[in-house]
Amino acid sequence: MNKLMQLLAVITLIISANANASWFGSDDKPAAKQDNKVYSLKLAETWPSNFPIFGDTTKNFKQLAESMSNGRLKIRIDSKNKHKSALGIFDFVKSGQYDLGHSGSYYWKGKDINTLFFTSMPFGMTTSEQHAWFEYGGGQQLMDKVYAKHGMKSIIGGSTGNQMGGWFQKEINSIEDLQGLKMRIPGFAGEIMAEVGAKPTNVPAGELYTALDRGTIDALEWVGPSLDLRMGFHKVAPYYYTGWHEPGTELQFLINLKKYNSLPADLQSILTAAMKLSAYQMYVQSEHESAKNWSTMKKDFPNIKVKTFPKSVFDALKIANEKLLAELAAKNPLSKEIIQSQASYLKKARAWSAISDQAYLNSQSK
């Protein structure tokens, strides 16, 4: 017991000495000098160098964090070309090899199924509804709970806005038209498509155009006009379907918690504020680029046919979605908690969207 008390006394002494040095300065190290310490952080992103919009987001974040901290934060961004592992971001930040990451939460569902829910869910919330859920509906707390298990924190990293359902070679008039349809559609939406009889196919980004052109695949989804234009899919497929599977795709910033906790409180705030502000910039940039690029696509290819799946197809997809969500909820209590939180928030938020934005847009349509 005496030894334990001695040990506690020593620990208390060390902690108070550290606290003294960190927070109040000491005679030989004035507080002002402490405040000027430069913290260098390394960020790994999933995207290749100079990838538009997503890559602009990390550059905006760096610029904001460095200027708001008056140079006390220094951020180095490594793109995929440098670290060579687009889907290694989770492990990089978890292990501390990188302090920060920029990627998409749903890429990590094989590592932890509960990371799936924080990007965008089929038939789920739009960007504005989901942002409200993150900030005021308990979304951030649930995300904290999931990532704390891995020694990380996740902050919103920018929305693409509503993603298009994708480019199709043939029109989809009934669920029969989806039978055996070879489509590049990754993630949970791909599982739903498989459930109703389609054949989700994984094709590397660089080979998608040729695969669609040559009929190796019948359809694909990518993002929306903001990033689809440069891929050229509109030159090889006539039907552009409206979205259902990623209604508000939010990227994510990842922070190594140990590193985060070692930073002074003001720099922690600056870091998260810079993340949220660059996420906002990405959302408005996505909206801007989509509007601009859609206008170009329509002008250059006036025969693009914009279509929406018929109700019977949506009904079948929704049944498959509910079935798969129920399976996830039954397997994992935290999955169940997140699915229920999203479902109840969506119900409330959508009732408001229906009489606000939706009613307004409907009243203005010709």
DSSP track, 180-219: T-EEE--HHHHHHHHHTT-EE----GGGHHHHHHHTSSSE
Minimal distance, residue 163 CB to Ca ion, in Å: 5
Q: Are strands 219-220 and 73-78 parallel, antiparallel or unpaired?
A: unpaired
Q: What is the largest CA-CA distance in the chain?
A: 85
- Pick from 229, 208, 274, 221: nearest CA to 247: 221
Minimal distance, residue 159 CB to Ca ion, in Å: 12
Minimal distance, residue 246 CB to Ca ion, in Å: 5
Residue with tokens 């990842």: 254
Choices 11-19, 158-166, 188-196, 316-324 (CB under 5 A): range interacting with Ca ion: 158-166
The CB-nearest residue to Ca ion is 163
Minimal distance, residue 216 CB to Ca ion, in Å: 19
Minimal distance, residue 235 CB to Ca ion, in Å: 19
Sketch the per residue contact string, 78 through 117, with Ca ion: x for CB under 5 A, - otherwise.
----------------------------------------
- Pick from 109, 106, 99, 136: nearest CA to 120: 106
CB closer to Ca ion out of 75 and 227: 227
Sketch the per residue contact string, 160 through 189, with Ca ion: x for CB under 5 A, - otherwise.
---x--------------------------
Tokens of 17: 């000495």
Binding positions for Ca ion, 190-249, rule CB under 5 A: none
CB closer to Ca ion out of 103 and 163: 163
- Pick from 91, 118, 94, 88: nearest CA to 106: 118
CB closer to Ca ion out of 163 and 335: 163
CB closer to Ca ion out of 98 and 117: 117
CB closer to Ca ion out of 39 and 123: 123
Question: How many C-beta atoms surround the C-beta of residue 17 within 10 A?
Answer: 11
Tokens of 204: 């590397």
Question: Phi then psi for 122, rounded to 5 degrees?
Answer: -55, 135
Q: Say how many residues touch Ca ion, by CB under 5 A.
A: 1
Choices 38-46, 103-111, 140-148, 155-163 (CB under 5 A): range interacting with Ca ion: 155-163
CB 125 within 8 A of CB 243: no
Residues sharing a CB contact under 8 Å with residue 207, sequence separation 6 or more, in sequence order: none
CB closer to Ca ion out of 163 and 252: 163
Minimal distance, residue 245 CB to Ca ion, in Å: 7
Choices 39-47, 157-165, 299-307, 318-326 (CB under 5 A): range interacting with Ca ion: 157-165
CA distances to 43, 89, 101, 300 from 80, in Å: 11, 10, 11, 33
CB closer to Ca ion out of 251 and 339: 251
Q: By the criterion CB under 5 A, which residues form the site for Ca ion? A: 163
